Amino acid sequence: MNSINLVWLVPVLPLAGFLINGLFRNSMSKSFSGIIGSLTILAAFVLSLLIFGQVRQEGFRPVVVTLFDFISAGKLQIPFAFQVDQLSSLFLLIITGVGFLIHVYSTSYMKEEEGPHFARYFAYLNLFVFFMLLLVLGANYVILFIGWEGVGLCSYLLIGYWFKNMDYGNAAKKAFIMNRIGDLGFLIAIFVLINQFGSVSFGEIFPAATHTPIPVLTAITLLLFVGATGKSAQIPLYTWLPDAMAGPTPVSALIHAATMVTAGIYMIARSNILYTLTPVTGTVVAVIGLATALLAATIALKQNDIKKVLAYSTVSQLGYMFLGLGVGAYTGAVFHVMTHAFFKALLFLGAGSVISAMHHEQDIRKMGGLKKHMPITHLTFLIGCIAIAGIPPFSGFFSKDEILAGAFAKSPVYYIIGVFTALLTAFYMFRLYATTFLGKFRGTDDKAHHLHESPAAVTFPLIVLALLAAGAGFLGIPEVFAKDAHWLEHFLSPVFEASTQLQATGGQPFDKGMELALMGVSVAVALIGTIWAVTKFSRKPELEEATGFGKVLANKWYVDEFYNAVIVRPLDLLSKFFGFIEKYVIDWIVNGIGRLVQYGSRQIRLLQSGQVGAYVLLMVVGILVLFLVQLFVKK
Amino acid sequence: MPINYYLFLSIALFCIGVAGVLTRRNAIIIFMCIELMLNSVNLLLVAFSKMHQHALGVVNANAGIDGQIFVFFIMVVAAAEVSVGLAIIVMMYRNTHSTDVNFLNRLKH
């Protein structure tokens, strides 16, 4: 049974879920909405499994399934086509799998919403999955861009889900606008691609890339990266992600941890040959990724909202992924996408469980001692923290280490900063863990009475994700431990084949001893950060307001204020200036023409005296004029 | 007689007629001037017809006869027009008890 021919069904199922939940939301019961929403994703997941089963076979070549001609303009042909290969099938599994778990979780988390709004939530969530699937399945940059824009839209819709709150609406707008700034870069890159290659299809661009002048490729890759900084929250377009925590927590888990923000990584991994050919862009990507990772980690150290810490953690981990892409460790970056999807979604869903139990209190200074009251949430959250800190044998260690090894091969400076950031990661994550779950409960007595573990719809996804976060690392066991045991690298090798061949010509692989030493350093650093944070914060949680340098970190290095002063206010003044021009210059001219016509007509109306004699006179004059004209104008 | 004399007379009559239509206030005088214009044209047509007959008579016995025939048409039209026009003037007098055309400025509104 060739399930690859049915690949179009994978995005269409969530789309159908969106239509059903959207159109009939006023007449469906909540449980029915939840079931429709979740079942479509489950069906898509099953189909993705079947496709994956086919793709896994040895010697599988990418299959392009064309649905219809989308744009046909002279020589430029853009078909609506899906490309099924190792990279897209892997992402399909991640998106539908984690998506399904989050849908199940949402049926419990959002149960306080009213019927139509509940259905609206699931409609938007399904629409998001539809666009994300379109993004990863697209066989050309235009279909990818359709999905790219669509997930930005759904992000806006979902962040601003509780639309009656103006602040949430502003956060949604901020996310959408910053995304759009990045999208401009992406769009220009597509134009350059069309100009250079006459096509946007992956199958036509990538083989021709080696014969293209490097400056053009550099321009394309840099512009694509601008798009990625917007979508995947890197410097300078990352400030929307912490504000996006205004949305419901499952939304944060799905969109801002597991899927949408990884769109940039996917896009660069897909275009890996272009990036391998342009070392300049590679350096830019790596440096920005590293800087973002470090910056976000420092900010997370002093945040007191449980979701904000996780948001900055996401930005930081995305920085790691871009570092991996920049140094050419494409498999490492994709590996980290996968493991990050598991443990970050786990952490967010765990945070949601805590927030529910705390009656929507999100400040960790008011929590504490939840270990006793919420055992499953506690255990799964702990597993997530260990995974993100990079402690073996949990998954984060394997993927992060692969990126760090690649970084070291490019430059030891990258490695040192990366390891320092890993120390900070372990520290702030366990600060979060210790302050929330250990010690004594610091909230009101009333809240203490209501603390209890969350229902099965919440804990089931937590358990599944915890198992994945713990075990997914074994999909990518590095060479030093066992020969040819890196399943993921072997699986994805056809996608990165061309890049690997180009990279093999430069730089030498390092010996086993070196690699083990690097691993040892990063594990030691992670353990130090973990133990230090747990011992410090379980005994004395950080309750006072931050002072001095800590205050700078708590205020996010004042980046938002900086953007406000340097970009937002000048634009505001500029638009006020143009508003003045419009009102007094342009409108004056346009209205002036009206006034002129009115004046002219007033004067001409005087001709209409009602005196017949005057009319006859005018008639005679007219005849005379015509006569003279025909006399003097020679034919 | 040279054709110029008839030409000048006809034009003079026509211009007098036009001036009369434009300047006079009495409706009947205006009518007279319109008749004057029509008859000046009649004169012109007959004069030209005679001229053509003189020029082409040797070749074609009926040369230039069209001018005179057209005069008949004009006369018929003038007669019809006079009857209608006088009827209007009578109506006008009945309603306003004057023949002053400046009185009729309803078109102003």
Check whether residue A433 and residue A345 sit in a common domain. Answer: yes
A177 CA to chain B: closest CA distance, Å? Answer: 59
Segment (H or E) for A72: strand A63-73
Share of residues in chain A with pLDDT > 90 (%): 47
Instruction: Identify whether A260 is part of a domain.
Output: no
Paired strand residues for A81: A66
Asked if residue B10 belongs to a domain, the reply is yes
Hey, is the C-beta of A606 within 8 angstroms of any chain B C-beta? no
Please judge whether B108 and A609 are an interchain contact, meaning their C-beta atoms are less than 8 angstroms apart: yes
Helix axes A306-326, A330-357, angle to 10 degrees: 180
- Tell whether B55 is covered by a domain: yes
CB contact under 8 A, A620 and B104: no
Location of structure tokens 């939301």? A25
- For residue B7, is it within any domain? yes
- Same domain, residue pair A500 and A394: yes
Overall average pLDDT of the A249-263 stretch: 85
Q: Is residue A14 part of a domain?
A: no
Q: What is the pLDDT of residue A505?
A: 60
Which amino acid is located at A69 in the chain? D
How confident is the model over A402-409, as a mean pLDDT? 89
pLDDT at A420 (0 to 100): 93
Residue listed under structure tokens 């206010």: A569
Q: Are A182 and A228 in contact (CB under 8 A)?
A: yes
Query: Cβ neighbours of residue B60 under 8 Å, at least 6 residues apart?
Result: none
Kindly provide the ipTM of the predicted complex, given to two decimals. 0.79
Q: What would the pLDDT profile of A525-556 be if each residue is shown by its tens digit?
A: 999 989 988 888 887 777 777 777 888 888 88
A617 and B CB contact within 8 Å: yes
- Reduced to 3 states (helix: H, G, I; strand: E, B; else coil), residue A316 is helix
Domain assignment of residue A595, given as a range:
564-632
Q: Is the pLDDT confidence value at A254 over 60? A: yes
For chain B, the domain total comes to 1
Angstroms from A584 CA to nearest CA on chain B:
37
| A478 and A522 assigned to the same domain | yes
Average pLDDT over residues B56-69: 82
Give residues 6 to 35 of B whose Cβ lies within 8 Å of A: 18, 21-23
Contact A609 B105 (CB under 8 A): yes
| Residue in A608, A609, A616 nearest the CB of B21 | A616
Shared domain check, A579 and A506: no
* Domain contains A372: yes
pLDDT, tens only, A199-250: 889 988 888 888 889 899 999 999 999 999 989 889 889 999 999 998 999 9
- Is the pLDDT assigned to residue A299 strictly greater than 80? yes
Residue B105 has pLDDT above 80, yes or no: no
Residues in B closer than 8 angstroms to A611, CB to CB, are 102, 105, 108
Q: How far apart are CA B53 and CA A346, in angstroms?
A: 117
- Chain A residues whose CB is inside 8 A of the B102 CB are 611, 613
**Judgement on whether residues A547 and A404 belong to the same structural domain of the protein:** yes
Distance CA(A599)–CA(A438), nearest Å, equals 83
Query: For position A506, what pLDDT does the model report?
Result: 55
Closest chain B residue by Cα to residue A607? B108
Q: Are residues A378 and A484 in the same domain?
A: yes
Q: Mutate which of A612, A623, A624 to test chain B, going by most B C-beta atoms within 10 A?
A: A612
Tell me: do A529 and A575 sit in the same domain: no
For residue B15, the chain A residue with the least C-alpha distance is: A620
Model confidence pLDDT, tens digit, residues A11-60 = 999 999 999 999 998 888 888 889 999 999 999 999 999 999 888 887 78
Report CB contact under 8 Å: B105, A608.
Answer: no
A:B CB pairs within 8 Å: 27
H or E stretch covering B19: helix B3-23
pLDDT band at B7; cut points 50, 70, 90: very high
Least CA distance to A606: which residue of chain B? B108
Look up residue A143 and give its two tokens.
């279909």
Question: A358 lies in a domain?
Answer: yes
Residue B109 within a domain: no
Query: Is the minimum CB–CB distance between B74 and chain A shorter than 8 Å?
Result: no
Judge: B108–A620 Cβ closer than 8 Å, yes or no. Answer: no
Chain B residues inside the 8 Å CB shell of A617: 22
* HEC per residue, A558-626: HHHHHHHHHHHHHHHHHHHHHHHHHHHHHHHHHHHHHHHHHHHHHHHHCCCCCCHHHHHHHHHHHHHHH
- Report CB contact under 8 Å: B104, A608: no
A83 SS3 class: strand
CATH classification at residue B32: 1.10.287.3510
Asked whether the beta carbons of residue A612 and residue B106 sit closer than 8 angstroms, the reply is no
Residue A185: the pLDDT is 93
**Local structure of B3: helix, strand or coil:** helix
- Kindly report the backbone phi and psi dihedral angles of residue A613, in degrees, each rounded to the nearest multiple of 5, phi listed first: -60, -40
Residues of chain A above pLDDT 70, percent: 98
Average pLDDT of A190-203? Answer: 91
B73 in a structural domain? yes
Chain-centre distance for alpha carbon B75: 9
- Would B62 be classed as within a structural domain? yes
What distance in Å separates the CA atoms of residue A556 and residue A550, rounded to the nearest whole number?
10
Q: What is the pLDDT of residue A103?
A: 93
Cβ <8 Å between B22 and A616: yes
Determine the angle formed by the axes of helices B27-56 and B3-23, rounding to 10 degrees. Answer: 160
B101 touches chain A (CB under 8 A): yes
Q: What average pLDDT does the segment A277-286 reach?
A: 92
C-alpha to C-alpha distance for A151 and A227, rounded to whole angstroms: 13
CA–CA gap between residue A220 and residue A205 (Å, rounded): 12
Among A608, A609, A613, select the one facing B101 at the smallest CB separation: A613
The CB density around residue A416, as the number of other CB atoms within 10 Å, is 14
Which of B18, B101, B109 is opposite residue A612, by nearest beta carbon? Answer: B101
Residue A456 falls within a domain, yes or no?
A: yes
Name the minimum distance, in Å, from the CA of B21 to any CA of chain A: 8
- Cα–Cα distance for residue pair B22/A327, rounded to 1 Å: 98
Burial of A59 (0-12, 13-18, 19+ CB in 10 A): exposed
pLDDT for the residue numbered A396: 87
Taking the model in full, what pTM does it have? Answer: 0.81
Domain end among A494, A520, A551: A551
Q: What is the pLDDT of residues A124-178, one digit of tens each?
A: 999 999 999 999 999 999 999 999 999 999 999 999 999 999 999 999 999 999 9
A419 and A525: one domain?
Answer: yes
How far apart, in whole angstroms, are the C-alpha atoms of residue A33 and residue A107? Answer: 9
Structurally, chain A folds into a number of domains equal to 2
Confirm if A178 and A240 have CB atoms less than 8 A apart. Answer: yes
Q: Rounded distance, CA A61 to CA A50, Å?
A: 16
With cut-offs at 50, 70 and 90, classify the pLDDT of residue B71: very high
pLDDT of residue A359: 84
Domain that holds residue B54: 3-100
Burial A217-246 (b: 16+ CB within 10 A, else e): bbbbbbbbbbbbbbbbbbbbbbbbbbbbbb
- Three-class DSSP category at A84: strand
Task: For residue B36, give the nearest of B78, B99, B94, B83 by alpha carbon.
Answer: B78
